[in-house]
Structure 1
Amino acid sequence: MDLRQLRYFKEIVDQGSISKAAEVLHMAQPPLSMLLKQIETHYGTPLIKRYRQKWEITEAGQMLYNHATHMLQQMEMFDVKMDYMMQGEVGQLRLGVSSSCIHLVGDVIRQFSQSYPKVELQIFKGDSEKLEQMLFNNEIDIAVILAPENSEQYEEFPLTPSPFALAVPKNWSNEIDLEVVSIQNLMKFPFISLEAMEGYSMLENIIYYLKEKNISLNIVAKCKDITIAQYLVAKEVGISILPKIQLGYVDGIHFVDLPELEIAIQPKLFYKQEATFSPICRNFIALFKSNT
């Protein structure tokens, strides 16, 4: 039994006669009568009892009718879902966002969810090193992360870079003259250091710069996550040199520009070329680019 046979049988029952069903289906009556006989032969039982002026559906016929109705409804639903999927309106998108880039995606995620409410967004958070590896392993579709040194295997879209600045707890303002600040006179304070990540040279660049200035750090904590580093500064664990970005704990932090420190983070949108085969990914990438 195929869907065509099920559709024809259902139409016969719905119309109450083969002749009326043939009219609706725009076909001759004899082939439709033959089709009904073939189905009855296939199952070895009458599906419709015929009388002189009327006919009635048998128990087996009713079971087949119910099955045909269900299958045709399922096929219609599948066609609708397939159409939605081909338009990128239903499915799943796996998005990786590093903690240092979370402030760049909020508006885009909101607009995407409003435009495509049937697309499930699965969001992964972590440091850029981890998320780049997940993108490489096809565990996520798109990553918004800090640009690694080697990214030739990806398609990319650059976002606004953020310079590094000195992050000082606001309550320490009385101890530090923020108007005449320099790195040299701040190294007596406890320092929170960003930890090195494979494929990223930010920390090495900062350390190299400080070594050139003959500055040794009083490191009290290390972490890869910029959000955690900001939190520790806000809680007065120490000072740090961090990207000047608006994350969750900036209310307790005073950022001091360091013009002599010419280092910045470069966030980018990364995806593999094959991601563009997915309508959902294409829709998200296009929306992201139009908002930047």
Structure 2
Amino acid sequence: MEMRRLRYFKTIADEGQITRAAKKLHIAQPPLSQQLKLLEEELNVTLFERNGRSLILTESGETLYRKASYILNEIEDTMAEVQAVDSGAKGVLKIGANKSCFAYLLQQITHIRERFPGVQFKIREGDTYTLTKEIHEREIELAIVRLPANETEFSTVPIPPEPYMFVVSNQWEGFGEKDSVFMRDLDGIPLLLLHRLSGKGQFEIVTDEFKRLGFNPNIVVECPDAAMLLSLTAAGTGGTIVPKSTLEAFSQENLRVFHLKDFKAQAEAALLWGKDRFLSKAAREVIANMEELY
């Protein structure tokens, strides 16, 4: 059985369609369909059932998918480990981060560039749901994300909790010269809040604080992109509530930042990576540096 066919089969199963799989593999659809047919003939089983335009794994297909995933991952780890021995501190570090965690990412990129100038970076941005999925799929080695994140599924380096801050355009009236506000002061102000694509996250943490204090926020925008929220805030769309370190990575021009006196919850983040997975030398250095820092 050829490794190439196993890789083709797994990609078809992941994508659920021949067309999407062919596009991801950068090959034409007819040759890919032919390779699938040859694999089914070699094994003398049907691996997929058609459901409209979608392909669904049969029981035999499910078994092969589990085995193929294990085999391909082992091959990938073996190649990476062998190349790491030969290349030393070179290669590519694949790392992801929430935009609200970019300050931590910038810190680590600076550190790795100083320690290992030969390392290149492939950086993925996304919410916690997206990045944890990419760790599972081995698209990235590490991710710096906001919690919660099903931490039991990963190895982690926790980052110390930090306060949430209220941010509004410096042209917004009503706050005088003060540098801190109560949550009740936000009553009626249009709010722009972080909201991940799936699962509980920053949105629920913030709205739970409003519930605790007995009033409903005026939410006008929900978005997983912290940079977009800050841009909208600077334009006067409303105010936003973000972790303090988020503001370190983006321009604060046209913005005023306030401490929230009665906001009890704190923002938590962590560095995550897959358990029992081989990591590049650069990835291991990031882990060691963050363990030393935090």
- 1:156 counterpart SS class: strand
Structure with the greater alpha carbon radius of gyration: 1
Question: Post-superposition shift, 1:249?
Answer: 3.0
Instruction: Find the counterpart in structure 2 of residue 110 from structure 1.
Output: 110
SS in 1 for 2:152: coil
Matched, 1:199 2:186: no
Distance 1:87 1:290, change over 3 A: farther
Structure 1 runs of 4+ with >6 Å offset: none
* Alignment deviations for residues 141-197 of structure 1 (CA, whole Å, 9 cap, x no partner): 11111122421121100123221122121222x422453733223322222122254
The 1:275–1:120 alpha-carbon spacing in structure 2 relative to 1, beyond 3 Å, is farther
Distance 1:181 1:265, change over 3 A: closer
8 Å CA contact retained: 1:244, 1:255: no
CA contact (8 A) 1:195 1:223 kept: yes
Task: Describe the shift of the 1:110–1:178 C-alpha distance in structure 2 as closer, same or farther (beyond 3 A).
Answer: same
TM-superposition CA deviations, 1:90-136 (whole Å, max 9, x none): 22221112101111122321231233233222111122221111112
Could you say which residue in structure 1 is the equivalent of 2:175?
Answer: 176
Counterpart for residue 253 of structure 1: 255
SS at structure 1 position matched to 2:100: coil
- Find the aligned partners of 2:124 and 2:201 in 1 and give their Cα distance: 23
For residues 11-49 of structure 1, give each alpha carbon's deviation from its aligned partner in whole angstroms, at most 9, with x where no partner exists: xxxxxxxxxxxxxxxxxxxxxxxxxxxxxxxxxxxxxxx
Partner of 2:63: none
Over aligned residue pairs, what C-alpha RMSD do you find?
A: 2.6
Q: TM-score, normalised by structure 1?
A: 0.64
Structure 2 residue ranges without an equivalent (≥5): 1-81
Could you say if the C-alpha distance between residues 183 and 222 of structure 1 is closer, same or farther in structure 2, counting changes exceeding 3 Å? same
**What CA distance in whole angstroms lies between the structure 2 residues aligned with 1:118 and 1:182?**
49
Q: Of residues 260, 272, 292 in structure 2, which corresponds to 1:270? A: 272
Structure 1 stretches lacking a partner, 5+ long: 1-81
Q: Give the corresponding residue for 1:44.
A: none
Q: Residues of 1 paired with 2:227 and 2:177: CA distance?
A: 23
Percent of counterpart pairs with the same letter? 22
How far is the alpha carbon of 1:209 from its aligned partner?
2.5
Q: For the Cα contact (< 8 Å) 1:112–1:287, is it kept in 2?
A: no
CA contact (8 A) 1:227 1:249 kept: no
Aligned length: 211
Within 5 A, what are the aligned runs for 1:119-198?
119-172=119-172, 174-177=173-176, 179=178, 181-198=181-198
Q: Residue 247 and residue 91 in structure 1: after superposition, are their counterparts in 2 closer, same or farther (change >3 A)?
A: closer
3-state SS of 2:215 partner: coil
Q: Secondary structure at the match of 1:193?
A: strand
**In structure 1, C-alpha distance between the alignment counterparts of 2:148 and 2:170, rounded to whole Å:** 32
